[in-house]
Structures are given as structure tokens and as C-alpha cells.
Structure 1
Amino acid sequence: MSMQPLLIELGTEELPVKALSGLAQAFFDGVLDGLHKRGIAFDRGDARPLYTPRRLAVRLPGVATEQPEQTSEVLGPYLNIALDANGEPTKALQGFAAKAGVEWTQLAKTSDNKGERFVHRSVKPGARTAALLPEIINEAIAAMPIPKPMRWGDHDYGFARPVHWLVLLLGKDIVDGEVLGVRADRMSRGHRFMFDKPVWINDAGEYVESLRGAKVLVDPDERRARIVHEVETAAQASGGTARIDAGILEEVNGLTEWPSAVACSFDRDFLAVPQEALIATMEANQKFFPVLDAGGKLSERFIGIANIESKNDAEVRKGYERVIRPRFADAQFFFTEDMKQGLASMAEGLKTVTYQAKLGTVADKVARVAVLAEAIAPQVGVDPALARKAAELSKADLQSRLVNEFPELQGVAGRYYAAVENQLLEVANAIDEAYMPRFAGDAIAPSKLGQVLAIAERLDTLAGGFAAGLKPTGNKDPFALRRNALGLARTIMDGGVDISLAYFLYMAVELVDNAVNNVRDQRVEAIAERARANGLSVLIPSEAERLEIGEATRKNVLVKRAFEIFSFISDRLISYYEGLGVDQRQLFAVFEVGPHSLVDVTQRLKAISEFAKLPEAEALAAANKRIRNILKKVEGELPTAIDPSRYTEAAERDLGDAVDAACNDTDALLQNRDYVAVLGRLARLRPQVDAFFDKVMVNVDDMAVRNNRLALLKRLSDRLGSVAAIEHLSI
């Protein structure tokens, strides 16, 4: 079979940078899928999507020049329908043969479970790959994720951007075809400024090298490596180290065809502004790379990437420095004005900012978080007064000019303002740490005070979201409750914050319910006031009357809501652990026993993971599953009293003694949460458990003996399941 390199290049106007790599991958996958579906052999080698801002390309080192022979098999009527009593063809068989274009005597026969039937088999030569490629490309384009295709000219088709050229080569030959109104050719395009003329592609295998000679790096990996090298070299020359954010690197990679670094600087006076604001401006708005000094602090240097090798770098540098100055000046002004205002004044302004219609203002939320933080603090050795202070200042910067301009600096700005006001360092840091983890994979708050604040903040957000009816549905999660649930769980577990989550969830739910009732009562009172002003009589029950009527019902509702949120957090946690590769059976085993804290979850997971490696694990898991099934069938209350004098079998007595010893050995271990040691000790019960089930019948006629055996099994099962429901490990 003849193989030739294949090149497809779709030349366009500048493609959307954030979608560029995804579009290139989809185009690449679509072409490969089209070849595969048509049975066209190809050698992928190390091929990958190739792209620049103005082109999407697929280059494969080897593609078969034609399909293999195409065989087809069409099933016809069964013999009892196809032939009459004299063995002559019926109209059904004649029609089938005519459709196949052959005499009925040329048809073959085959059999299945219903009997023998006629079949038409044919073989035809495979089509030439060149004839199929335009169709393959059009299919690949149609399948690309382009939410709003553009249309140009008077065409009825669309694409992400208007298409201007098409290179389609199989080996050295141009493949005749048309895609999106453009005829295939071998002429690509070079760099818009440094090589503004057509580029002859002699052979598909020479594509990358030909474009490199035209000042276009079409391989995104090569382009990315050049950007990193250029940036790092320029930063080192200026005496610092470049901060290269992966996201910004990808955007710059999607904006350039021939990247070239330009070292720039700004006025040192701007360094008085929080460096996070300056970095945010450089990265998000201008796609520049900040330069850090030896201590990891922002210096007055930065690196811009031009899409051209300029003959006058000074002019490019001047332009980059000029465009960044006004944004830095704005940040400097905002920061200076905010410091004049002060955190206390900002916090006071939160009383006029609505947090959520049913939940009151941001100041109301801060008050609830302060109560929670103060209650959680002593559980982890943090000063409650310090926790309250940090909570009361935690949202003040939302009223700052700096955060209004840079929303991503929430908490960061507060930390700076607290430091300027000489607040305690722990308090200033906690204001920032309360937002951690900010994204998937981010670290949790490093300090205990920061962890307390992060937990309290998320408890209130979850309780508020559920109370306001904002539970996530499908892809909709307006309060980011999924992220908050996982952030809460990770902070508790990774931080070793050993608190009762259920208790503080109920506390958060109750605080939110009070807020909801307060908002509702204020609205009712306002309506009543308007009614009285119009001469109408309105009867509103007093607070005492409302409490007396609904307190019991209210508590039931709040308990259910707290349990619902706990289950929601558990589901997020299970998904998180599954993503880390933890066995789903082990997760279910731990969560079924209802650990009293999330730190306890971590300890139990570690223990059952170690237990699952033991040779006794499978047998004991199966035994506990069997025991649970036996106990489920018992009508009425399960017996719990064990009388050793009623043991009638040696295996029964041996198990009773072994269970007594195991319980005595593991009581203190359970108290100290040494779950690994507990399960290790229980694993030694396997011989007695196996012997019991081999030699002892549980449901005997003698009720006293039966109940005694059931009580023994219950005690054994309770202890086997004291760390996790190990029966889930049984296949």
C-alpha cells in the first residue's frame, strides 16, 4: 500500500485566542476520525495539531493513497420466502436480485438462528484518498465547537473567522477540492509583516520548515518554547526572574507567529501599590510577563512579547511602557484614596450593599461569619476575639476603589489596608487567607486563624445558598456552592481542623434562618406601616407568638437543611477523592459509618486503604456482608445479651473468646482514632470467623441458642464496622 505525507492548512483571519488550541485539536481529531471511518490507513507518528493565529493545520507523516477494497454484504429473504414449492424464485427473491443488479442464481446463501437465507456479496475497489479528502475536511469543520460561526460575502456557510486560503497536499501533489469556497493550492502565507508574500510548499513533509523560513513557527510547542526562552533570557539580563503564568503563556502563544521579547520598565514609585494589582494589570490586560527580584518581589521590570523582530526595539518598548502607565496610575490613585478612607469606614459601607435579596446585606453576612468564627476558634486553639476581629474586617475591602477596579484582589487588598493600619499581622493575613483555596488545586489557608475564617465564610455561604433556594442544578451554580463545599472540606481535612461539621452546619443554618426571618419581618412591617398610613387595620403576630407556634417545626426544618448540606459536601468530597484515584468502595465504606468530623474521614480512609491490602480483607468483608444480611432478616429488636454458657459448639466458643479479646484490644485504639491498628487487630479474627460459618448454624430451632448467636454476630459486626462498613470491599 502506497503511503504519502498529508498536509491540510486552513488559512484564516485572526482566530479567537482563547479558543485557538481547542479549535486546532478539534480539527485534527476530526480529520483523523474521517480517515479512520473510511478505512484509510495512516501513520500518525508524533503528529499533533499545528496552528498560529491565522491558520489551523494537520500534517501526518503517512496516509494511504487509497482505501482498501470495499466489501459489502446485503442480506436477502429466507429460503421459505424466496423460493416457492417448486424451487422457483418468488417475487421477493426476484426483486432482491434486481436491486442487487445480478441474476438470482448468482446470489450466495448464509444461515443464522432463523434459518437459511440469500445474501448478495460484492467487492469493489477502494476510492482514492484524494477524492475523499474534501469531504473529510468539511465533516471535520462541521463538527468543530464554534458557537457563533461568522459569515462573509454572500456565502451561506460560516466558520470561526473568514477563510482565505487552503493548502491541501498528499505528498507533492495538490489534492483537487474546495472547502468553504476556497480551492486547494500549495501556496501558504508567511508572516504578515516580515514575509508578506505567498510561501511555496513543495512537499507536505517540508511544511514546518518552509514556514519557519517565512518567519512563521507553526508548531505551538516550538513557539511556546521560544517565548519561554526569550522571556527568561530578557529577565535574566535585567537582573531578575520572569513570572510566567501558564494561562498568559498560552494566550501569548496564540497571539504570535514569530515571538520576540522586549525588555521594559516602569516608574519605581508604582511599586508602592500592591504588587498583585500591578501584576494583574500586566498579565490580564496587556499579556506582559512581570520580572521578580531575588526575594520574589515585583521589580520595576517587565517583558513584552512582540509578534515581530523589530529593527527599532526602542519604539516598541516605548509603546509598551506608554500603554501600561495610565493603568498603573489608576491603581496608585485607588490605593491612595482607599488608605485615606480606612477599613472601618469601608466596613460601615457594607450596610448599604445587598448580599442577596433573602439574606440581607453584606454587613449582615459579615456579622454571621463573625459569630461562627468566634465559635470555631477555641476548638482549634485560636483566640476567639482575634477571630471575630478578622471576620469583621474580612469583607471591608469590597467597598474599596481598588477591588472595584480589580475584583480578583478581594482579600489581597484588605490585607494591605490592614497592614497599613497596623492591625495584627495574623488578622491582616487572615483577611486574605479567608478566600483560599481560590481555585481547584490552590493551597488552603496556611494559618489557623485563616482556616477558621475560611471555614466560617464557607459555612455561611452554603447555608445561605440553600436557604435562598440557590442549590446547584446542572451547570448552574450562581453562588459557587460546589466550589465552596469542596473548599470547606479541604480546609478542614488538610488543615487538620478537628471540629464537628454537623454541629457548625446547624449553627450556620440557624443564623441564616434568623436573617431570612428578619428580612421577611422587616418587609411585613413595612407593608403594615403603609397599610396603617392608609387607614387600614393590620394584625401582625408578635415575635413570641411566632416562636411559640413554629419553633418545633422550625428546628425540624433546620436539621433537615443542615443534613442536606452535609450530604452535599460529602458528595463533593467523594467526587474529589475519586478524582485522586481513591477506590469508590472504600469511600462508600467510610461515609456510611457517618464520621463525626472530616478529619476523621481522612484517618478512616487511610486505615481502610491499608486494610484492603491485607490478605484477610476480602474474606472478612464478605463475612460482614453475610452477617449484615442475616441480621436484617431478624424480626423485631435484635438481641444484644451474650451468655457464654449457651455456646454449644467449639467454633462458636472460639469466636466468642476471639471477639471478646479483639474488643478489649481495640477499645482504647478506637478512642484514640488509631484506625489502622484497629483494622489490623480485627484482621486476626479471620480464622475464627471462617470456622464459625463452616461449622455453626445460626438459625436453629432453640430460640435461646439462636438469639445468643445473633447477639454474638451483632457484636462482631459492630466491631468490624467500627472504622468503616468493610462489607463494601466485598466484590
Structure 2
Amino acid sequence: MATPDFLVEVGTEELPPKALKTLSESFGEGLRSALADAGIEYGEIETFATPRRLAVRVNKLADAQPDTPFEKKGPAVKAAFDDQGNPTRALEGFARNLGIQPDELDTMETDKGAWLVYRGVEKGRPTAELLPGMVEQALNGLPIPKRMRWGSRREEFVRPVHWLIMLYGSKEVPCTVLGCEAEQATRGHRFHHPGELIISTPADYELVLRQHGWVEPDFATRRETIRSGVTRVAEEQAKGSAVINPDLLDEVTALCEWPVPLLGRFEERFLDVPPEALVSSMEEHQKYFHVVDANNTMMPCFITVANIASHDPSAVIAGNEKVIRPRLADAAFFYDTDRKTPLIDRLDDLKPIVFQQDLGSLHDKTLRIASLAGRIAEGIGADPDKARRAGTLSKTDLLTEMVQEFDDLQGVMGEYYARHDGEDESVARALSEQYLPGFAGDRVPQTDIGACVALADRLDSLVGLFGINQPPSGTRDPYALRRAALGVIRILVERELTLDLEELAGWAAREFNSLTVNDPVNPVVDYILERFRASFEDQGVPAEVFLAVQARRPTQPLDFHRRVLAVNNFIALPEAQALAAANKRVSNILEKQGGTRAGNVDPERFQEEAERALYEALQSQEEQVEPLFARGDYDAGLQSLAQLREVVDRFFNDVMVMADDDSLRANRLALLERLRQLFLRVADISLLQTGSD
């Protein structure tokens, strides 16, 4: 079987840069899936992407589907022949439909008698016939939120399509996809080589584009070229270091086919503006990389990546410097203007801005945050006055010119303006830290006041929206409550704050006077605790460990976290499964007897040595582990309880729990209840059992 390479390239108008990488990967995955479904063997699949093309190369692609044996069951033998042994009409019809003679059929014995069967081989279809449909399927499956049409054509794609390559070995695959007829010609760089370039074989693809088309088709190679080029220009020409944001690097890679890094400069007077504002302007609007010196201080220069190798680079640089100057001038103007009005004077201007129709204005929310932040500060031993002040100022920078122009600077500019206004340093820091963590892997607030405001803001949203019966549903989460819940968990756990969610949610609920749900606290607490599951799954913690702790419903996230880690360590012990099974057995016994057994254990009623051994072991363990559990050292406590395995096994081997004597039975049940309650101080480890009861 021949295995030539296959190349498909879709040439388009400039593709959306932030989506290019995803589109490329999805195109490759779509072809991979289609080939697998068709049962066609192939080697490595490579993807290529530039602003004007998506391409996939499949190496060593089998030229046909494998032949597939099949079996078609016919009539029963007794119904296939008459008394003289001649074929019946049923047999003749079956054979005629298959285009064969009756003597070509085999006999198959089954438990229901003998049947006639036709066994054959279905010839695999040639790969070249299947490729157009596979490519169309892969393109139709791309994650394109909104497809477009162009001209009078009916085809739809993310951008207008201008050419198509479908090359299998050295031969074109004749077809039309997205309104374009397949050919062997690609196009080079829009300016350096706008004409056609013939691709003779799929293996020539990159070589032809690089050497003749002024195009680097491989996304990863182009990305590294930009990264190393920007780094080199910063070091050699600016004597500094380029700060390379990975997301910006991906976006710039998606904007260039032949990248050329160039160094531009701007006036030093703009360095008086907070660097975050300068960076936001350069990255968001111009796609520039900024440069810092050895002290990590911003330098008055930037690096742009041109999509052309100009004969006069200075003209390209001058053009970019001309474009960035008014952007930076605007930032400087906003900064000077904003500082003329103290943040506290902007508070009343929040009144017309609606936070949520039933929950009031942003001004209302700000006052609730301030009050709640003060309560939280009291709970962790921080300064409540500073927490309330930070909460009061928390949203005022949203009204500044700078934040309205660069919305990613909310909080950041609040910190600068608060410091300029003479606010306490902890208050100023809290204005930026209130938004932490903003995403997975982001840091949490580093100051107590920042943590108080961050918690208050998130809890206000959670309790408020649950309180008017508007929790997240399905994928709909317009107020980002899932992210808010995860933020609450991370702040409490990573800052090691021993605050209880029921108490926190209760404080937040008391700040409202318009909630329609009678008790929003419990739903909010359950919702936040459930967010723990995904974070622990990401850490490789088995689901049964989470469920064992969740069964006890500890409402203090730090305590919940410590229990999960302890139980996760416990399940690795050799004694764990036996003790989990014993707890399951105890749970089943007690449940059949009506649940928890009240009453003290009476040692005078013991009849078996195994009873006394378990009782004494429990007494000893209680003395050892209670102080550990009291201070949250669940790991050491469970490690100690693992020593009970031997006496527990002996008890169940030697003792008849359900004795005929009522008092004896009650005493043994009380002993088992004591055993179970000791483990329940941490988790319901009966849920850890992975084998049969």
C-alpha cells in the first residue's frame, strides 16, 4: 500500500489574530478525527498557520481504507431448502440481492440451529476520494463564533477564501471546497511575493514559502523567531531587556508572515505616567513590546514587529513612533486630569451606575463592601477602619478618564491615585489587590486589607445574586460567580485565614434589605464548597477523597483543605482500605439499628478480649489525636488512627456484634459508634472503600 504525503492549504484574507492558533490546532484535530473514523492509517500530522493561510500536512497517508471483512446472515437452513433439497424462494431472494449464487453461501451453526451466511470482503475506498469530504468536515467543525459570506457566494467561513491546495503526493485532488477549486499554487507574502508559487509535493511546502515566498508558515518557528529577535534588539540596541507577554507574543506571531523586529523610542517625559498605563497603551493598541533596564525600570523605547523587510527601516520606525506619541500623550493627559479630583470626591458619582437592577447601584454595592470588609478585618485581626476606607474607595477609579480608556487598569490606577491623595499605603494597595486573583494561577492579595476588600466584593456578589434567585445556570454566568467563589476559596486557603463561610455569608446577607430568598447563606456556602472539587481534581486528588470530606461539610475552607490533604495522604497507607471497609461495615450496622447509638461504653459488660483491646486502643488514640484535631493537624491524627487496623480486624473476627442479649448488643454498638465518631472528626472514610463490602 502506497503512503504519499497529503497537503491541504486554505488561503484567506487576514484571519483574526487571537483565534489563529486555535483555528490551526482545530483544523489539524478535525482531519485527525476524520481519518481515524475512516480507518485510514497515517503518520505525523503537522499544522501551519499564518495571517493568510491555514494548512495541514499528513505524512505517510495510506492510499486507501483497509479492506473490511463482513458477514451477512441469511435464512435458516431448514427454511432455505425444500424437501427435495432445492433452494426455496427465501434463499433465492437472499442470493439475488447479494448478486451471488446460493452455493457461494456458508453454513453457520448457532444455539438456535444452522443458518446460511455470506462472508465477503468490502473493498476499502481510495483515500483521494474521501479527502475532500474530510477537509470540508474539518473546516465546518472549526470554532468560528460568527461565519461570514463574501460577494454573491453562499459559502461561509471565518474570512473570504481565495485559494485552495489539495495535494496528495504529487497529484492534485480534484475538488471544490468553500467555493475554490483545488490547485497546486499557493501565494507568497502580500508585498514581497504576491504572485503564485507552485508546490510540487507536500514535503516542499515550507521550503518554497521560505525561500521564494517570504513566508514562514510554521507558527512555532515564527514565534521563536520573533521572541529571539525582540530579545536581541532590546539587548543590542537599547541595552535593556524586552518584557515579552506570552499572549502578546502569540498575537504578534499571528499578525506576521515575515517578522522583522525594530526598535522605536518615545520622549522620556512620558515615563512620569504609571508604567502600567504605558504598557497597556503599547500592548493593547499597538502590539509593541516594552523594554526595561537592569533595575526593571521602564525605558523610553519599544519594539515593534513589522511584517515586511523594508529597504528603509528608519521610515517604518518613524511611522510607529509617530503613531505611539499621541497614545502616550493621551495617557499622560488622563493621568494629570484624574489626579485633580480625589477618589473620595467621586463616590457620589457611582449612584447613577446600576450594579444589578434588584441589588441597587454601584454606590450601594460600594457601601456594602466597605461595611463587610470592616467586619472581615475584625475577624482576622486587621484594622477595620482601613478596611472600610478601602472598601469605600474600591470602585471610585472606575470613573477616571484613564480607566475608562484602559479598562484593564481598574484597581491599578486606583492604587496610584489613592497614594497621590495621601491615603494610607495599605488602603492604596487594597484598591489594586481587590481584583486578585483574577484568573487561574494568579496571585492572591498579599495584604490583610487587600484580602478583606477582595473577599467582601466577591461575597457581596455571591450572596446578593443567590439572594434574588439568580445563581449561575449551565454555561450562563454573567456576573462571574464561579470565578468569585474560587477567589474566595483561594484567598482563605492561601492566606491561611480561619474564617467560616457560613459566618461570612451571614455577614454579607445582613448588608442587604431587598433579598427575595429567605436563606441565601446555605446555598452560597454549598456553591462555594462545591468549587473545591475542580481545584482538587486538577491536583490529582481522587473524587472519593473530596466526597469523604464533603460528607462532614466543614464550612471553613482552610479546614476543608487540610482535611482533604490529610485524607489523600491516608489513602496511600496500607491500612487505609481495611479501615475504610470497617467504617463502612460499622455505618451499615448502625444504620440498620436506627443510626447513631447514644450511651456510654461499659467495660464491665465486655465478654471478649477483642472488645477490651478495641476499647483500650480507642481510649489511647482519643488522648493522642484529639489535641491534633483541635489544632487542625488532621494528617498526623489519621496517621495515628491507622494503628487501629489490627484491633478493629480482630474485633470483627472474634466478636458477634448483634448478640441476643440486648444490653450486650447495645454496649458493642456503642463501642462501634465511638470508633466511627473518632474517624468522623476528619471525614467519612467509609466512602473511601474501593472494593466490595
CA-to-aligned-CA distance 1:23-79 (integer Å, 9 cap, x gap): 2222222323333333332111xx421111111111133122333334433333333
Is the Cα–Cα contact under 8 Å of residues 369 and 391 in structure 1 kept in the other structure?
yes
Residue of structure 2 in register with 1:529 after alignment:
none
- Mapping of residues 341-420 of structure 1, within 5 Å: 341-420=341-420
Report the CA distance between 1:704 and its aligned residue.
0.7
Identity between Structure 1 and Structure 2 (%): 41
| Paired AA for residue 390 in structure 2 | A
Which residue of structure 2 aligns with residue 192 of structure 1?
A: 190
Separation of aligned partners in 1, 2:37 and 2:639: 54
Secondary structure at the residue paired with 1:77?
A: strand
Residue by residue over 1:417-442, the C-alpha shift from the partner in whole angstroms, topping out at 9 and shown as x without a partner, is 01111212111111110110011221
Distance 2:625 2:35 in 1: 63
Segment of structure 1 superposing worse, 140-149 or 344-353: 140-149
Deviates more, 1:703-712 or 1:631-640: 631-640
Q: Match for residue 167 of structure 1? A: 165
Partner of 1:230: 229
User: Which residue of 2 is the match for residue 54 of structure 1?
Assistant: 52
Distance 2:636 2:137 in 1: 60
Q: Secondary structure at the match of 2:189?
A: coil
- Partners of 1:270 and 1:329 within 8 A in 2: yes
Q: Which residue identity does 1:249 align to in structure 2?
A: L
Residue by residue over 1:657-685, the C-alpha shift from the partner in whole angstroms, topping out at 9 and shown as x without a partner, is 11111112222222222212211221111
Equivalent residue number for residue 723 of structure 1:
682
TM-score of the superposition, structure 1-length normalised? Answer: 0.90
**Contact in 1 for aligned 2:75/2:115 (Cα 8 Å):** yes
593-602 or 389-398, which deviates more: 593-602
Partner of 2:317: 317
- Deviation, 1:86, is 4.5
Shift of the 390–636 alpha-carbon distance from structure 1 to 2, 3 Å rule, reads closer
Q: CA deviation at 1:616?
A: 0.9
Query: Given the superposition, is the C-alpha separation of residues 318 and 510 from structure 1 closer, same or farther in structure 2, using an over 3 Å criterion?
Result: same
Work out the CA distance in 2 between the residues paired with 1:14 and 1:77: 62
Contact in 1 for aligned 2:525/2:555 (Cα 8 Å): no
Q: What is residue 613 of structure 1 aligned with on the other side? A: 572
Residue 596 of structure 1 and its aligned partner are, at CA, apart by 4.3
Contact 1:640 1:714 (C-alpha < 8 Å) held by counterparts: no
Q: State whether structure 2 residue 616 is matched by structure 1 residue 629.
A: no
Report the count of equivalent residues.
Answer: 688
- Report deviation, 1:377: 1.2
Alpha-carbon distance between aligned partners in 2 of 1:636 and 1:22, rounded to the nearest angstrom: 55
- CA deviation digits over 1:543-587, x for unaligned, max 9? xxxxxxxxxxx9xx65x3201100000111111211221111111
**What's the counterpart of residue 641 of structure 2?**
682
Rounded Cα–Cα distance in structure 2 between residues aligned with 1:450 and 1:268: 33
Amino acid at match of 1:162: P
1:42 alignment partner, SS class: coil
- 2:217 counterpart residue number: 218
Equivalents in 2 of 1:424, 1:567: separation in Å? 37
> What does 1:320-331 align with in structure 2 at a 5 Å threshold?
320-331=320-331
**Given that residues 435 and 454 in structure 2 are in contact (C-alpha distance below 8 angstroms), is that contact kept between their aligned partners in structure 1?**
yes
Are the aligned partners of 1:639 and 1:708 in contact in 2 as well (CA < 8 Å)? no
1:218-268 deviations in Å (ceiling 9; x for gaps): 111111001101111111121222121121111111111111111112222
TM-score (norm 2): 0.95
Q: Are residues 1:695 and 2:693 paired? A: no
Contact 2:596–2:673 (Cα < 8 Å) also in 1: no
- 2:484 aligned partner: 484
Question: Which range moves more in the overlay, 428-437 or 92-101?
Answer: 92-101
Distance 2:275 2:396 in 1: 20
Distance between the aligned counterparts of 2:151 and 2:116, measured in 1?
Answer: 54
Mapping of residues 464-613 of structure 1, within 5 Å: 464-512=464-512, 514=513, 516=514, 558=518, 560-613=519-572
Distance in 2 (CA, whole Å) between partners of 1:78 and 1:326 is: 88
Residue by residue over 1:635-677, the C-alpha shift from the partner in whole angstroms, topping out at 9 and shown as x without a partner, is 3862322111011111111111111111122222222222122
Contact 1:266/1:300 (<8 A) preserved: yes
The CA distance in 2 between the partners of 1:569 and 1:128, in whole Å, is 55
Residue 146 (structure 1) shift: 3.1
Q: Which deviates more, 86-95 or 454-463?
A: 86-95
Answer yes or no: is 1:642 the counterpart of 2:640: no
List runs of 5+ in structure 1 lacking aligned partners. Answer: 518-553
Inter-CA distance 190–467: structure 2 relative to 1 (3 Å threshold): same
Q: Residues 34-433 of structure 1: matches in 2 within 5 Å?
A: 34-44=34-44, 47-123=45-121, 125-213=123-211, 214-236=213-235, 237-433=237-433
Does the Cα contact within 8 Å between 1:351 and 1:363 map onto a contact in 2?
Answer: yes
Structure 1 residues 411 and 89 mapped into 2: Cα distance closer, same or farther (>3 Å)? Answer: same
Q: Which letter maps to 1:648?
A: Q
Are the counterparts in 2 of residues 640 and 715 from structure 1 also a CA contact under 8 Å? no
SS in structure 2 at match of 1:49 = strand
The answer as to whether partners of 1:169 and 1:204 remain within 8 angstroms in 2 is: yes
Alignment correspondent of 1:446: 446
Distance 1:208 1:708, change over 3 A: same
Moved more, 253-262 or 14-23: 14-23
Aligned counterparts of 2:256 and 2:295: Cα–Cα separation in 1: 31
Q: Is the 8 A contact 1:639 1:707 kept in 2?
A: no
SS in 2 for 1:316: helix
